[in-house]
Structure 1
């Protein structure tokens, strides 16, 4: 069983400041998290229905749920979690952990 951490970022008031923080601080923290999960970033997702509520989607994936949660225990994980408050100041952020139970494809 694997888990995915999903973070959905709204459009920031200052897109340049937000992108700079992501590039210079938050993403480097995330790259230091322990675990083997692939960390992906998608910009400007196109909604199938409705408006465009998000401008950025981030998803580390592929780790068992307990390993994903444990990645935030060491100093690197705590620093990443602490830094998550800064992107939330720049743009609305919704995040969740999804446990992948089965492949329906």
Structure 2
């Protein structure tokens, strides 16, 4: 059975959606796409909640392993990407987690 590592980021509705979206597209995504070993980056909009309030945006970033994910964020681009996440949190609350997935 194959296993991948996923970094999951859940964003609440920003105080200024236009500014958040512009910064996310123009600054954050280009940084994320430079993370070493990144296999896939997906971004969803307007999630439909089943229970509770919806998130504004959900990002999923995949690596081959949890070790590769950790190494990506330990390097220069990872540090810069994490620092930019702090900038984005000026507009929106964020929840994030790293998980391992079994691909069956």
- After TM superposition, the score normalised by the length of structure 1 is 0.90
Counterparts of residues 57-76 of structure 1 (less than 5 Å): 57-76=58-77
Shift of 1:2: 1.4
Residue aligned with 1:79, SS: helix
Shift of 1:50: 2.7
- Unaligned 5+ runs, structure 2: none
Shift of 1:101: 3.8
Distance 1:63 1:87 in 2: 27
Partner of residue 41, structure 2: 39
In angstroms, what is the RMSD of aligned CA positions? 1.3
Partner of residue 48, structure 1: 50
- Unaligned 5+ runs, structure 1: none
CA pair 46-65 structure 1, distance change in 2 beyond 3 A: same
CA pair 51-81 structure 1, distance change in 2 beyond 3 A: closer
Distance 1:35 1:78 in 2: 15
Q: Does residue 95 of the first structure (1) align with residue 96 of the second (2)? A: yes
Deviations 1:53-103 (A, max 9, x none): x11000111421000110012211111111110111110100000112463
Aligned length: 102
